[in-house]
Amino acid sequence: MIETACALDCPDACSILVDTDEFPRLKADTNNGTLCSLLNKDMFDTPRIDKPTIDGIEVSMVEALDEVAKVFKEDSLLWRGSGNFAVMQEITNLLFEKIDGTLTSGSLCDGAGDAGIVEGRGVNRTLPLEQIEMADTIIVWGRNPSTTNSHIMPYLKDKKIVVIDPIATPLAKQADLHIQIKPRSDLYLALMLARFIFMEDSEATTWLEEFAPEFEEFYEFTREFRIKAILAHIGIELGDMGRLISYIQSEKVVFLLGNGIQKYSTGHYTMWAIDSLAATLGLFGKDGCGVSYLGDSKLGFDNPFSVKCKSVSKVDTPFDKFKTVLIQGGNPAESMPNSSRVIERLESVENLIYFGLYENETSKRARIVIPAKSFFEKDDVRLSYGSNIVRKMNKVTDSDIGISEYDFVNAIYGRLGFDGLWDEEYYIEYWLKQCKDIDGILHSPAYESHPYSDGFGLDADDEFIFIDEFEDDFETLKHLKKYRKMSDKKRELKSYWLITPKAKHSLNTQFRRDNTIMLNPILGYDDGDTVSVSTAHGSYTFTVKNSTDIREDSVVIRANATGVNYLTPSTISEEGENACYQEVKVTLEIL
Ligand SMILES: Nc1nc2c(c(=O)[nH]1)N[C@H]1C(S)=C(S)[C@@H](COP(=O)(O)OP(=O)(O)OC[C@H]3O[C@@H](n4cnc5c(=O)[nH]c(N)nc54)[C@H](O)[C@@H]3O)O[C@H]1N2
Ligand SMILES: Nc1nc2c(c(=O)[nH]1)N[C@H]1C(S)=C(S)[C@@H](COP(=O)(O)OP(=O)(O)OC[C@H]3O[C@@H](n4cnc5c(=O)[nH]c(N)nc54)[C@H](O)[C@@H]3O)O[C@H]1N2
Ligand code: SF4
Ligand SMILES: [Mo]
């Protein structure tokens, strides 16, 4: 039996056992059951790129690498996606430092939320799963765990569950309470909840005095907003507020937060406000309490792939300013916001290199295509943003297809006469030797059973900082400006919030793709209708599927739908350099 771990971009980071004679049959090595069908089925059903190409013509790997080495002499950019979440992906940083190349900074994923956490707590520590297990009430807020994090579901069993989500997700339907919140209004809900907690004198005074002494100022801040106006803005009845408050006043409460709350320019404020609410309740550092979000999996590690390179934005990348661009493990032509702008820029790159497993919208536009090895075909180390567990990934099988990231870097080092690259095992050991061994299971050096129990900040000697300001002019200003620029015909159409969550049978743009827009039946479209969906950034055509799970003021187009990002803006969040996929409203026209 060989042990490895799933490297797909998923918080579960499942451990896998493989009998090499039976590969690709896989066995789960987790306490809580099975591997998901993304891995067991979809990954193996998806055809791989098996040959390198230059200008569409098949070449040998040696010829392809010769050409890559040649074009790396030009001004070069590395744009890395998260198709493989294991650590060795970052080894290409070393190469870019050597060629004086450019990297990206920012995030398509969780950066705004992370920035909000850092504002309040100083550092983003992962809440261990055992604390979630000990809770009696879980507030699932902008997260869809039955789809995106299925191995956490057993931890939610037999608990009181509240879901705050504009969609009636599968979990929302079984929950004790579902607040079908208006999109982009979570910031106000969090501030109102905190205010009500103070009004009822339910704040955790003793804890606050020690760890978050500015709480009176926070109460004053929450009083700046008129209750009636805010409740009308977020569309929540007073009765639902009351029920919600009674749940969050339970003894052991965990907030399980997801990407949904922060796909907006104000994403970090929302996270900060929810954290401030949790601090008001004193939920940090105690048994069965805490706020769980996508953690910073590299926290506490000395990263051997940290380099000092120039960088450009990951969200609004100026690809066209570079002669050579290496796209590694990603599909920016489809996963980045504002596809028409991204594609125009990608198409003006002289030497676009795609290094990945599958053909996609980006590989089709590349001049040089290098097939990668899948994670079953190389050694690696898997960290997790859902827990602190670290797993060594051992190569399970050999394949004639592709090249690993380490071998790719090594090959270019050789061709360009660079030295200083250590063996692959050296880097893998470098990560592993920093881990804590707890009962035979490796944990990240940042692991703490009760994060923030001694205080906040990296050294736990800071206090919690409450949110004390925010700016939010989307509905009043930005949107209106764009709206005024639209043609009269478009303006007459009603506009809807775009919700763009993850899909069950795809991992972002990998595996099964889709072309569906989900609408509330009250909008009057029929299943199968073709609609043109437009925003100030672009238009695309989708097929209607009605669902009463969707609010009347919103539409849902999942992240695996071809064309969804023609609709989204390349706006960068106010903090965290994050994409703002939902900072947009759409109009619909039947075709
Ligand atoms: N099957 C599958 N699993 C995945 C992925 C995948 O593509 N497929 N992707 C992986 C990746 S890269 C990530 S980052 C994680 C993300 O995992 P999640 O955080 O669960 O991500 P999303 O599906 O983007 O959004 C979660 C929920 O937020 C809700 N939401 C949207 N807007 C709002 C809002 O304004 N307020 C509130 N309260 N809720 C809102 C959506 O309706 C959705 O139910 O999942 C990982 N797991
Ligand atoms: N509308 C909308 N857009 C979104 C989101 C959303 O919720 N809505 N979510 C955003 C989020 S959270 C994320 S994380 C991004 C993800 O966006 P990307 O990082 O671009 O990820 P994918 O689109 O899944 O593309 C991953 C590619 O990696 C390649 N790959 C897989 N394994 C390996 C490997 O071992 N080596 C190499 N070299 N390549 C490999 C595969 O060929 C695959 O096509 O998308 C973002 N885009
Ligand atoms: S649940 Fe996530 S980590 Fe586990 S096998 Fe599926 S994709 Fe991989
Ligand atoms: Mo992500």
In a domain, 30, yes or no: yes
* Beta-carbon-side half-sphere exposure of residue 174 (alpha carbons within 13 Å): 13
> What single DSSP character describes residue 305?
T
Atom of ligand 1 nearest to the CA of 147: 1
Atom of ligand 3 nearest to the CA of 16: 5
Q: What is the pLDDT of residue 478?
A: 47
Residue nearest to atom 21 of ligand 2 (CA): 330
Going by C-alpha positions, the residue among 116, 272, 266, 252 that lies closest to residue 190 is: 272
Q: Residues 504-543: pLDDT tens digits?
A: 999 999 999 999 999 999 999 999 999 999 999 999 999 9
pLDDT bucket at 214, cuts 50 / 70 / 90: very high
Res. 477: pLDDT tops 80: no
Q: Sign of the CA dihedral 272, 274, 277, 278?
A: negative
The one-letter amino acid at 118 = V
As a whole number of angstroms, the distance between CA 177 and CA 182 comes to 16
My answer on whether 152 and 227 are in the same domain is: yes
**At what angle are helices 61-71 and 405-416 packed, to 10 degrees?**
60
Going by C-alpha positions, the residue among 448, 402, 427 that lies closest to residue 61 is: 402
Q: Which of 276, 292, 308 is the last residue of a domain?
A: 292
As a whole number of angstroms, the distance between CA 428 and CA 433 comes to 9
* Beta-carbon-side half-sphere exposure of residue 427 (alpha carbons within 13 Å): 25
In a domain, 558, yes or no: yes
**Residue 449, C-beta contacts closer than 8 angstroms, at least 6 positions apart:** 128, 130, 131
Q: Compute CA distances 200 → 197, 280, 284, 446, whole Å.
A: 5, 12, 21, 37
Joined together, the tokens standing for residue 143 give: 């997260």
The one-letter amino acid at 163 = V
Report the domain count for the chain: 3
Element (H, E) at 482: helix 479-485
Provide mean pLDDT across the span 31-59: 91
My answer on whether 123 and 101 are in the same domain is: no
My answer on whether 543 and 414 are in the same domain is: no
Q: Residues 248-280: pLDDT tens digits?
A: 999 999 999 999 999 999 999 999 999 999 999
Please give the share of the chain, as a percent, with pLDDT higher than 70.
Answer: 96
My answer on whether 390 and 322 are in the same domain is: yes
Cβ distance 194 to 277 under 8 Å?
Answer: yes
Provide mean pLDDT across the span 198-220: 98
Q: What is the pLDDT of residue 476?
A: 47
My answer on whether 326 and 431 are in the same domain is: yes
Parent domain of 16: 2-108+299-443
Ligand 1 site-directed mutation target among 153, 165, 269, 580, most atoms within 8 Å of CB: 165
From the CB of 39, is ligand 3 less than 6 Å away? Answer: yes
My answer on whether 503 and 372 are in the same domain is: no
Q: What is the pLDDT of residue 542?
A: 98
In a domain, 469, yes or no: no
From the CB of 181, is ligand 3 less than 6 Å away? Answer: no
Please give the share of the chain, as a percent, with pLDDT higher than 90.
Answer: 90
My answer on whether 318 and 436 are in the same domain is: yes
Cα-to-centroid distance, 382 and ligand 2 (Å): 17
Q: Residues 141-150: pLDDT tens digits?
A: 999 999 999 9
Q: Residues 278-312: pLDDT tens digits?
A: 999 999 999 999 999 999 999 999 999 999 999 99
Q: What is the pLDDT of residue 588?
A: 96
In a domain, 464, yes or no: no
Within 6 A (CB) of ligand 1 lie 9-10, 38, 109-110, 141-144, 147-148, 164-167, 169, 181, 183-184, 186, 258-261, 499, 501-504, 506-508, 559, 582
Provide mean pLDDT across the span 396-421: 97
My answer on whether 13 and 87 are in the same domain is: yes
My answer on whether 486 and 424 are in the same domain is: no
Cβ distance 273 to 458 under 8 Å?
Answer: no
Q: What is the pLDDT of residue 226?
A: 86
Atom of ligand 2 nearest to the CA of 84: 32
Cα-to-centroid distance, 110 and ligand 4 (Å): 6
Cα-to-centroid distance, 21 and ligand 4 (Å): 34
Residue 12: give its domain's CATH number. 3.40.50.740
Q: What is the pLDDT of residue 24?
A: 86
Per the listing, tokens 């090595």 go with 29
Strands (E), 176-307: 177-179, 253-257, 290-292
**At what angle are helices 267-280 and 186-199 packed, to 10 degrees?**
20
Q: What is the pLDDT of residue 232?
A: 84
Cα-to-centroid distance, 471 and ligand 1 (Å): 24
Cα-to-centroid distance, 483 and ligand 3 (Å): 41
Cβ distance 360 to 587 under 8 Å?
Answer: no
Q: Which of 387, 420, 443 is the last residue of a domain?
A: 443
**At what angle are helices 267-280 and 215-222 packed, to 10 degrees?**
120
Q: Residues 381-397: pLDDT tens digits?
A: 999 999 999 999 999 99
Q: What is the pLDDT of residue 525?
A: 96
Provide mean pLDDT across the span 232-242: 89
Higher pLDDT, residue 347 or 19 = 347
Cα-to-centroid distance, 553 and ligand 3 (Å): 33
- Mean pLDDT (the chain) is 95
